[in-house]
Structure formats: structure tokens, C-alpha cells
Chains A and B, each alone.
Chain A
């Protein structure tokens, strides 16, 4: 008799006579469910995993090395290529780190626009997560539904910055552009429909027998394990740790908006799925509040700091001194003060941190990218043993790893 919550394989006709019938299975790096270039070496006893070795580095582009050879503004588009599902949040993390280093305060309208970008990116990322994970498990309808909604958001972002995937929509010191005319109306239209859409997904999945069998009590991460492995974001909150950087160490306007941090103490795939759905609702709540804030803001989009930030375009075109400064900042780059900073932000995947060591030069002396997915991949070493092969796919799905970020 099979247990209802396990897809336990059993072979009636096959017997393995060897004492050591361990099989080593090479999963990836070109596996559609690996969400990128993940290679897993799985040691199997029949279909049960006894050991797992994740092997990464297939997408390693040496971003930290590149950063040491680039001026600060030049590095901004490179950050897009980390978590390319929600690239504005990477841009933002870097911009915030440099701003903290040089001690800049960003104008309020820029903050509002950044909040909008961050939360739309979170929605995009969560929708993408839902779509691909559901597809891995076989729920094709959800994939089509979620990608439809994500498409609206991509169009919105395209209206703002012209790009759909690699936004580079944040600058050090503010944002490059004001919102286009139709942006808020379109966003509101999307948000009004979002609760219905989320309900559609949940109707399809919440009580779906297959979904529950694949998700419930699979991939259970205990609180201690999550903390020890440096988990963050949903991976941490699903294991019963209430820690959201937006709430605990608020940046931008997160201390002015009302939102809840959904937490679960189950730690399994299903808990993570429920948290992603709940977070989408919270993001929508934040976006409604941010839309209302936009009206009362002044027109400035970039901080005023001539030593570090170029003047507005109108000054550059009319005033000689602004043009000279702009020329120096573009050709030589800004030179932040000597010092170190580590800034963590809550990206859709978890704690995205930038460590910058500046020696007063135009190039960072050392830049360390702390990408959440790196540890969410590492945890597979301890998480997979004891599970069965089909569980690998659902566990990788709910860890929500993106390989641009793991390998950097």
C-alpha cells in the first residue's frame, strides 16, 4: 500500500542482488528542471538518495573580478545578469550599497519609483517561480496563467525603462526617469485583477491531489538547518523564522507602508508555496500604498551631489560647469570615500547583499556579491538525502534558485 503523501516507487519484478547496489546518477547540467546550469551527483539506493553533491560554476562569469575593473556606474548593467528574473532588485541593492558608502539621501519621488520597481519585480519573480515550479510538477495550466500575468508586468516595466528582462532601471543616487503617463493606471488595473488571478492559481493547486502529494512533507527544512545554511527570504520564513529585511532593517519607504510578513513553521515545499502566494498579496498591498504616495512627491529624481552624481540633463545642456562634471564622472567615474560597507536588501529570492571595499579609487577594491541562491543551492547537500528522485525536482523548484546568481 502506498502512502498518500509519498510517491514511493516500488518494483515488483526487479531485485538487486548485489550487496552494494549504489547507483550514481548525474542530474544536469542540462536538465530542464534544474532551472539553469545545475549539476547534481546523486548517490542512489534504488530510488532513494543517500548522498547529493551539487556542482555549480557553469554560468560563472567572474562578476566580482569584472567589478574590480569597472567604474561604479559601469557595473550597474552587469548586476542585471545576476538574478535575471527580477533584475531591478539587483540594481537597487548595488545602488543602495554605493549610496550608503558615500552617504547619499535619495529624493522622495525616486524612492517611490524604486519601491514600485522592487515590488513589481517581486511579483514578476514570484509569478515566474509559480509558473516554472508548477510546470516541473506537471501543472501546465498554472504555467500559462502565471506567464500571462507576468507578461503584463513585463510590459509595464518596458514602458518604464524600455527593457523587459535586464532593466538597469535604477541609478546610483536615484532613478533615471519619471513614470510614463499611463504607468499608474496600468499598474492599478493589473493590481485590481491580481487577487482573482491568485485565486485561480490557488483553486488549481491548493487542494490538487498530485500537487499536495508532491509538496506536503517533502523537502522539510528545520529552523536550525535554515539558519545554519544561511537561508534567507521565503526559505527561512517557511521554516519558522520571522525575518524580513524590509521589516527589520527598513530601507527606502518600507517603514511607511503597512504589510505583513507571512511565516510558516512547517518548512516543507507546501509551506514555501503558500508563502509565495501570500507574499504576492502583500506586494500588491504595498504597491497600492506606494501609488498613493506618488502624487505628493516633488519632481527631483536624482540626488544632488555634484562630486558623485551628474547634474540633471537640462543643466548639462545649458551650464558649462555641469557639463564638465558630467564629463569627468562619465570618463573617470565617481570616487567614493575610503571605507567598507555591507548592505543587505530583501530581494525576491532572499537576502541580497553587496560588500564593497573602496580605497578611494574609481574602481571598487573588492566587491563581494552575497547572492541568496548560492546557499539555497548548497543546502541541497543536506536536504536531498532520504528523498526520492521525483522529489529532487520539486525541491529544486521551491528553493527558487537562479543560476545567474549562484555562479555570478
Chain B
């Protein structure tokens, strides 16, 4: 029977997992342990709902509702001195719970603190742009849209950024295979020659890295050289390897103890 492969997550899987293995956790500590973060969290809690908050590896993580993202980030920027949005992207949890997790990595230079705002949205839902607060979100949100297909509301230029404009599919989703889907594999052929050329060109010519073992026109096999174009599908002739010059004189002669002089006296 063919092994079952899950369709909702096609990323590489380890070939061996210990069924009794329990993965350890990176320690989460309570926000009250850090005064600065505790004050920030109080400020957020005062006007927004906080679903979860903890400190992990020195940075506070605050989970909020997706609808509050603009408000929270605006408040953090204007009132809590978080003056840079270093990074913004998403994590694909569609297979587990049908949701994306969007995170905003923020930096406060005056307080020397970094915190991460997180929120979850469904596959078909969209999220408000924070581009009006931080211009850096302009490109990050475009990248997030490009890679995950998360639509951003009120973004000035909602367009793919890394992939071509006419690309289909979202590469960083777990359902997207590493080698690309059918559209990706035929992208150049479809674009240059048209879809009808797929059969003429054939999958074997689409991959430029493909090596045909029996093709003696374009490939030679070291140690088994045959004249170019020889048909070797029925087996190949033995290759006689001789190190010989044109005229017949051997370049490498077999060592003959009789003909050589052995110097035993080093001072001679």
C-alpha cells in the first residue's frame, strides 16, 4: 500500500521520529518579571483585549484580536515609544487550525526592548494595513500577501513583490511544494510558447538540470567514452584505456625493475 502523505502540509518530514519523544519547551516567563514590559502590557490591556502575554527569550509576546492590530500598534508607537517596526510576517497554521498567525516585531530604541504583537486570522479574512504608521510595513505587507495570500485592507499598492505579477499560488504556504506546483514547473513554457507547447516540449526537456544516461550527443561518461551519437541503450562497448601518444610510444610505461638503476649510495 502506498504511504499516506498529508495534503495540507507537503513540507519535508523527518524519516524517523521517536513516538515517545516529547519536545522540550523554550521557557516562557510571566510579564510581571520585567517592569518595562509589565507597564507596556498594562497600557495595552487598558484599551484592548489581550488574549495571551508572556516573555520568551527576553522579548515580550502579546496576542491580540486581529481587528485591534492597527490600534495596538498605533498606541505602542505614539505612547509607548516603540519607534520601529523591524519585521512583519505570518506563520501558516492552516493545517492545524485553519488560520494564519500574523506577527509584528517592534523595537523601542529608548527602552532597548523588543516585543512581538501576534494575532490570528482565517484563510479568507483580511487584515488592516499598518502602513500609515510605519512605512516599512508597505513592503513587508506586500511580501506577506505575495508569500501567503493574506489580503491587506487599505494598502496603497497591493501587488506581488518578489514573485511575478501573474504568478498563481502562494509559495510559503505549507500546501505549496518546495519544487513548485504544476503552474510553477510550466511557467516559462506557458509564457513563452503557450500551454499547447507543453506536450511538444515534454517534461524531460523542461528541466535544464536533467541528465540522460543514454544520451551520447550531449553527455559523456568519464571512463566509458564512446564516439558521439553512439546508441548505448543496448549496452555499451568496453572502453580500452591506454595512455598512448599518436605515434604509438607509451607515455606511461610499465615499471620494469630490470631496466632501472637503483642508487644505493647516496654520496655517489
Question: Residues of A with Cβ closer than 8 Å to B?
Answer: 56-57, 60, 62, 64-66, 68-70, 100-101, 103, 225, 227-230, 232, 241, 243, 248-249, 332-333, 335, 337-344, 351, 353, 355, 357-363, 365-366, 368, 370, 374-375, 378-379, 381-382, 407
Contacts and interface: CB of A to CB of B under 8 A. Distances in A.
B76 interface: no
Contacts of A360: 23-24
B92 A57 contact: no
A55 B84 CA distance: 24
A339 B178 contact: no
B87 A355 contact: yes
Contact of B26 (A62, A341, A344, A361): A341
A255 B167 CA distance: 47
Contact of A353 (B61, B105, B134): B105
Contacts, number: 123
B192 to A, nearest CB: 17
B136 interface: yes
A366 B87 contact: no
A335 B23 contact: yes
Interface string B163-188: 11000000110001010000000000
20 contacts: A57-B160, A62-B171, A68-B12, A229-B135, A332-B16, A337-B24, A339-B25, A339-B26, A340-B56, A340-B57, A342-B116, A355-B87, A355-B89, A358-B26, A359-B23, A361-B23, A363-B11, A370-B86, A375-B136, A378-B135
B135 A351 contact: no
A101 B163 CA distance: 31
The 6 closest A-B pairs by CB, nearest first: A360-B23, A339-B26, A230-B136, A57-B162, A337-B24, A69-B12
Given A342-B59, A366-B92, 15 more contacts: A56-B162, A57-B163, A64-B147, A65-B176, A68-B178, A101-B57, A335-B23, A340-B57, A340-B116, A351-B86, A355-B89, A375-B139, A378-B135, A378-B139, A381-B138
Nearest to A357: B91
Interface of B: 11-12, 14-16, 21, 23-26, 28, 56-57, 59, 61, 83-87, 89, 91-92, 103, 105, 109, 112, 114, 116, 134-136, 138-139, 147, 160-164, 171-172, 176, 178
A404 to B, nearest CB: 13
A342 B105 contact: yes
Contacts of A355: 87, 89, 103, 105
B174 to A, nearest CB: 8
Nearest to B12: A69
B136 A378 contact: yes
Nearest to B136: A230
A379 B21 CA distance: 47
Given A56-B161, A360-B24, A370-B87, A340 B61 contact: yes
A230 B85 contact: yes
